[in-house]
Chain A
Amino acid sequence: MKQFLLRNIFLWLFLTLPIFAFSQGMVNGNITDSEDGVPLAAVNVVVKGTTAGTTSDFDGNYEIEVSSFPSTLVFSSLGYETKELEVSGPTTLNVSLAPSATGLDEVIITGLASSVKRSNAANAVATVSAEELAGVTPPQTLDGALQGKFAGALITKSSGAPGGGISVRLRGVTSVNGNAQPLYIVDGVYVNNSSIFAPGLNDVSRAAAGGASVSSNQTQDNPSNRIADLNPDDIENIEILKGASAAAIYGARAAAGVIIITTKKGKAGKTKISFSQAIGSNSVINLRGLRNYTAEIAENGFGAGQGALFTQAQNDGSLVDYEKEIFGENGFISNTNISASGGTEKTQFFAGFTNNEEDGIVKNTGYDKKSIRLNLNHKFWNDKANLSLTTNYINSSSNRGFFNNDNSGTTIGVSLTSTPPWAKLFPDENGNYPDNPYGASNPLQTRDLVTNNEKIERFIIGGTMDVMLYQKERSNLKLILSGGVDYFSLVTTSIFPKELQFMKPSNGGLNGLTAQGTTQNKDANYSAFLVHNYYTGNNINFTTQAGITKQTFSQNTTRNTTSNLIASETNLDQGANVSVSQFRLLQEDAGFFIQEEVNYQDKLIGTIGLRGDKSSNNGDANKLFYYPKASGAANLHNFDFWNLDVLSQFKLRVAYGQAGNFAPNGALFTAYNNSLIDGIVGIVVPNTLGDPDIQPETQKELEFGIDAGLLENRISLEFSYYIKKVDDLILQANNEPSSGFNFRFANAGNLENKGIELGINASVFANRDFSWDTGILFFKNKSKITKLDVDPFDTGGFGTGLGTFRIEEGKSVTQIVGNDGDGNIIVLGDAEPDFQMTFNNNFRYKDFTLSFLWHWKKGGDNINLSNLLFDFGQTSGDYDDFTLDPSGTLSNGDYRIDSFFAGNAAAFVEDAGYLRLREIGLYYSLPQNFLEKAFKGYVSNIRVGLSGNNLINIFDYNSYDPEVSNFGSNGLSSGVEVTPFPSSKRFMFHFSADF
């Protein structure tokens, strides 16, 4: 290290000697915004073709050493148009930069240690800025905020339960049984996104004891996933690498894409404090509605004597719409955020605190989150080194209610299916609830007495130090060391007190159940990179980077369930029957990568790279798997022959990359489960046969694209076509059950996704008083199983009698099949949408801004089993309508029941397309001169506004919301519905001020 510095010092001495004979000198000046004359800080000033560069200070002043004249100085800053100006001698050069409509000069990350201008990028990397993410309306969770913001993603909420549970699928299905969720990286820290189910819930609902034909690692307990913990207010921008062609450099965990999150950093200058408060409420989007009961329906459907009970309740006005009673709450939402940012030239900081509180649309459900962040940046060693530290502490608690599938009739959703409006379920004045004679649980009692809570304490800490090892005129070498740790503890608490109808021993219950799951999870990553930049004489830039990374994962989950409780105690030792299970995971991954990028005058840019990865999850832990990449982009508009002025930008690009997906933990082994009989401990075979020779999946993606800008980039078009193939697909394939195992892990197939993404952005008007920006995205994906080495198998459903997903060669990965009336298995639909479109608009008129985002998902089917359960309970809202039966003889309820008995599954596969107004916001900023007069410069920005989320939802789907998943966020079976927690819309009022 010292040697390099010594050499550096020599270089510096050399450079600073006043050798005017060699025509070098200082150029300085002031940089301002061309519209309002405000000085611009942190503008990059670079001598073109060299590594010499500086940034403007907070007064907009800059000073740069130019080694030889004439030279071109390049002035660039995010949000402004880049300017290039020639200088022929030492001089004072004042520059004004115009705000840029489009983000072409924006910088995006390629490689693990380098970034590239968007205009030079060879991939369609989507970015979502802070404004786009949370600027219109505050989202409940981060991954939910991504819906509709970029092309190529199918983002599905598992249910409306507060606290998250979302699946993000980039460019189609990447894996059937392996991990199919993208890798999330926050400021260089690889964060954990697992879903960990709570104990106790399945003991009561017995969902997994029934007829689901799913692999053993999918749960129906609706757990949340950990990305929900991240605070959207802290985020500066998000980059999404959608497939292997962009994400190859991240190697074996990047097959499903990489989402790179950068949080806000401080800026040099006056310390700025921002405060914002949002208050609002949520309400259910759509209720199923009540059946039009008559005394006759009551008698026929519910048994002798029920007709009289109905008439009596009708006469004394005591009919209750229990659906509305349960789901009709307006939950109160409050989001508070305070942040401070500032610093000097050398040290900058950003600190933020956010408090989110949200009540759900069901009593006793809700989500509270507190997040504190401190980001520090410090330059030292004469600006040759930079240390940046990001720290974040999150504390959250979510109450999720007791919903989804069950086989005991106890979840709130299922007990509503058989409960008619004349049931008497309210508690008496002493708080005693009557038993529900129409079901195994009283939904009001279950709602009020059951606790299902997840508490998270999480620390995400990352640090990066980069040091310029040497810097010459035409080359420099930088060393980057970074590390991060993501630690969380998750405590899930499920309490079912004795008073519950289904807990009473007289009803065969367990006399109270308390369960607690505790997970300690720590993920850590370390990496070291070297980046070398070299400029040739005719402005060809070579960037070489090489590095090594190491990641460790550890998880220890204990799940304790105690039943037959003492009184109303909930400690785990306060009961007769205690059971415990433990799961541990230890994993280590290590890898290296090298990448070379060649940039010929911003006209032709080519990149090749290679990543090697190994993992303790593989049979041979030290075997390296290689993932190459190559890409090229041609900025035709920069070439001399380009004379089409109307096309101010025209880029052709192609990229190829490979990424991997290691086998899920445990796939190597066939481990016994434990058993107990009469106090004698035992071992029993598991459901799934492991494969000690299992290989990781390999994804290969080829992407072609065209980026074009018209009318000085006021209109920009982006088009991409991709082919994504996955080989050695890890399948938890069905096995002949007579072998003793229902499933076996095997590399047994290939799949392919092909799709297009098209984006158009236009800055339609841009005046002083009025501006209008609009954007349209259109994207479509088709998948196919191209090879299957095992026999076709069903997954993710409840058998062909009710509709299930089926993995079959030559067919779509997400096809839904079922029996027709004659016992044949036919294709009934596909969960993949026909296409998705989003329409985004931002209007500004004087001090008002209006933004809204429409999202249209066309096609894509769900397996909707809620209707059938309501039919069997005789409570479907549309039971007596005649819209389903083609022959017009059977009412809807009878038709569905008849289909079920006839073994015809078509009635349960429904189109789940929708048109949603995802976000809309109207804001007013108080005018600057008013603020000056009133607050004398202490307050710089006051904004008030109204916003809404999912305010308009248009769909034909016959249930609460087409966006639903009974089986959680992993795997491919989103889109199966069994009486979920309904989704909600939000409406909020905002106030924010900057000091």
Chain B
Amino acid sequence: MKTLNKLLIVTLIFLAFGSCEVQDGKNLNGADTTSISEDVSRGELGDAIAGILSDMRERIETQVDATSVLGREYWRIQSSDPRWTGDLLTGLLDDNTFYTTAPYSARYATVKDINLVLEGLVNSTADFTEAEKAAARGLVNTLKAHELLMVLNAQYQNGIRIEVSDPDNLGSFISYDEALSSLSSILSDASSDLLNAGASFPFPIPSGFEDFNTPSTFDEFNKALAARIAVYQGNYTEALALLSESFLDLGGDLNSGAYFTFSLTGADLSNQLFFAQNSTIANARIAHPTFITDAEAGDTRLNKAPLRDAPLTADGLTGENDVFIYQSNVDPVGIIRNEELILLYAEANHITDPTEAVNAINIIRNAAGLPNYSGGTAPADLVNEILQQRRYSLFAEGGHRWIDVRRFDRLGDLPLDRPGDGTAEQFPIPQNENQ
């Protein structure tokens, strides 16, 4: 009996340690990020870059809405989230609420997509030529600068982190001016890469970039972004040089440019900046009344804010006009358009060459059905006119009004609608950054 016991126990132990081999767990639900960063292959490069271009669209509706509301371009009414008419109109912005954190995280997620590709290109054992690698680097670094610029526009004087490739060792926050310079240099390095990148990209480009789908034409997009940054910095000479190498076309279509495209198929995203006209209090974008009242008579850009069948009242605000610049939920959304470049051109010239500035302004005014500019040509007058034109040309497109009044120190000019309302200069640093 005792031997039996011993035999049993031995068998048991043997069984326990011997036959109970467990297979290693695998992740069945997607590619691991190390498959890109440790060695990106030719096919994977296309997937990763398509991912970057797709991710750039994540939460842009929150981003555009929040910055547009702060700039009093329109009110965002949502019955299930009263913070749109609360925090964003009182100017008391919370550091841990979605309007601060969601666009911030989304832009940095795209930056992470980009950094993984850059790391993968360095480690790649695939048969890329130097030109092909330069093409990829040039494209993704241009997009990286764009994404970081979006964050910087929101964070303003808080500064941002630029170097974020190691999650355990994030670069420190650098100031607004330093950040702008840093983005400028990222763009110029990317530009050199693009100009050494051969004749084509080794991966597909979506149709929103169809005017920029070769390295040399993509460089025009790069220069356009760099010109925008130069104007923000006040470097007008450099801005003019950059504009001349961009897709600026004084006689061309105001709507040419780079776009985010959308569709309803599969994992593709729809355009969340589209609401039908006469939306209810559940979800609506209502143009600020001053957009209508401050316009010059006959300005066709008022078509961007058509009259509703009935006014909408919510939380002490009443508006009669919808925001309606997209016709459907698959309409493209502009990243940067010729119309903005013309206005940048006007601003870059307004001190040194006011006549040229007025020419540019008139192109915009005429396109909007307005007569030529007849005001003063002193810098202060031209700034007023340019800000006015930017307000109407770039209405509801990326929060330009807020950025513009802020960089000209005119936040106080923004209208306040109810007692207790206020403006904000920037979004707070998200709480989870632990600053």
A residues near B (Cβ < 8 Å) are 4, 210-213, 302-304, 405-410, 414-415, 417-418, 436-441, 470, 477, 505-508, 510, 528, 530, 532, 546-548, 550, 563-564, 576-592, 612, 614-618, 621-622, 665-666, 668-687, 689, 734-742, 744, 791, 793-794, 798-801, 819, 823, 868-869, 872-873, 897, 900-901, 903
Contacts and interface: CB of A to CB of B under 8 A. Distances in A.
Contacts of B329: 508
A738 B434 CA distance: 11
Contacts of B30: 671-674, 683, 686
B251 interface: no
Contacts of B92: 823, 903
Contacts of A738: 104, 108, 111, 160-161, 164, 170, 433
A669 B28 CA distance: 10
Contacts of B87: 801, 903
Contact of B33 (A303, A546, A685): A685
A798 B82 CA distance: 12
Contacts of A406: 80
A680 B82 CA distance: 37
A805 B82 CA distance: 21
Given A417-B79, A507-B276, A819-B94, A677 B50 contact: yes
9 contacts: A211-B99, A303-B310, A665-B25, A671-B32, A687-B109, A736-B434, A800-B94, A869-B80, A897-B82
Contacts of B204: 680
Nearest to A901: B86
Q: Which 5 pairs from chain A and chain B are nearest by CB?
A: A740-B112, A409-B282, A682-B50, A440-B282, A682-B51
A737 B432 contact: yes
Given A668-B25, A677-B261, A801-B94, A736 B433 contact: yes
Contacts of B263: 577, 676, 678-679
A586 B81 contact: no
Contact of B112 (A679, A685, A794): A685
A579 B432 contact: no
B283 A739 contact: no
Nearest to B20: A590
Residue among A406, A738, A873 with the highest chain B CB neighbour number at 10 A: A738
Nearest to A791: B434
Interface string B246-261: 0000000000000001
A508 B279 contact: yes
Contacts of B281: 409, 418, 438-439, 873
B307 interface: no
B5 A672 contact: no
Contacts of A873: 79, 281
Given A579-B267, A734-B432, A507 B279 contact: yes
Nearest to A409: B282
B167 A744 contact: yes
Given A439-B281, A737-B105, A872-B79, A678 B207 contact: yes
B269 to A, nearest CB: 8
A371 B215 CA distance: 66
B264 A510 contact: yes
B292 interface: no
Contact of B97 (A4, A211, A675, A685): A211
Contacts of B90: 901
Contacts of B276: 505-508
Contact of B96 (A414, A586, A799): A799
A612 B20 CA distance: 11
B116 A684 contact: no
Given A679-B265, A683-B31, A738-B170, A303 B313 contact: yes
Interface stretch (B52-60, B368-376, B382-390, B393-401): B52-60
B114 to A, nearest CB: 9
B47 A681 contact: yes
A745 to B, nearest CB: 12
Contact of B264 (A415, A564, A622): A564
Nearest to A865: B80
A903 B94 contact: yes
Nearest to A530: B8
Given A546-B9, A739-B112, 20 more contacts: A211-B99, A409-B281, A438-B281, A440-B280, A510-B264, A547-B12, A579-B267, A588-B22, A675-B268, A676-B263, A682-B50, A682-B51, A683-B36, A736-B432, A737-B105, A738-B433, A740-B111, A791-B432, A800-B97, A900-B86
Given A510-B264, A872-B315, A873-B79, A684 B54 contact: yes
B101 interface: yes
Contacts of B164: 738-740
Given A683-B31, A736-B433, A819-B94, A578 B266 contact: yes
B148 to A, nearest CB: 10
A685 B114 CA distance: 10
A510 B272 CA distance: 12
A530 B8 CA distance: 9
B433 A418 contact: no
B24 interface: yes
B32 to A, nearest CB: 6
A415 B15 CA distance: 61
B420 interface: yes
A696 B334 CA distance: 48
Interface of B: 1, 4-5, 8-9, 12, 15-16, 20-34, 36, 46-55, 57-58, 78-83, 86-87, 90, 92, 94, 96-99, 101-102, 104-105, 108-109, 111-113, 115-116, 160-161, 164, 167, 170, 204, 206-208, 261, 263-269, 274-276, 279-283, 310-315, 318, 329, 420, 430-434
Given A592-B16, A621-B23, A739-B108, A868 B82 contact: yes
A681 B52 CA distance: 11
B47 A683 contact: yes
Contacts of A793: 432
Contacts of B98: 210-213, 799
Contact of B15 (A548, A670, A677): A548
A668 B27 contact: yes
A4 B5 CA distance: 12
Nearest to B90: A901
Given A418-B282, A685-B113, A903-B94, A582 B31 contact: no
B115 A740 contact: yes
A666 B432 contact: no
B22 A621 contact: yes
Contacts of A470: 1
A791 B36 CA distance: 30
A437 B26 contact: no
B22 A590 contact: yes
Contacts of B264: 510, 563-564, 576-577
Contact of A408 (B86, B104, B283, B314): B283
A211 B59 CA distance: 11
Contacts of B268: 675-678
B96 A800 contact: yes
Given A409-B282, A585-B28, A742-B432, A675 B82 contact: no
A445 to B, nearest CB: 14
Nearest to A793: B432
B98 to A, nearest CB: 4
A532 B9 CA distance: 11
Contacts of B430: 737
Contacts of B99: 211
Nearest to A501: B280
A405 B261 contact: no
A307 to B, nearest CB: 12
A683 B432 contact: no
B313 A675 contact: no
Contacts of B113: 683-685, 740
Contacts of A668: 25, 27
Contacts of A622: 21-22
Contacts of A799: 94, 96-98
Nearest to B8: A530
A593 B164 CA distance: 47
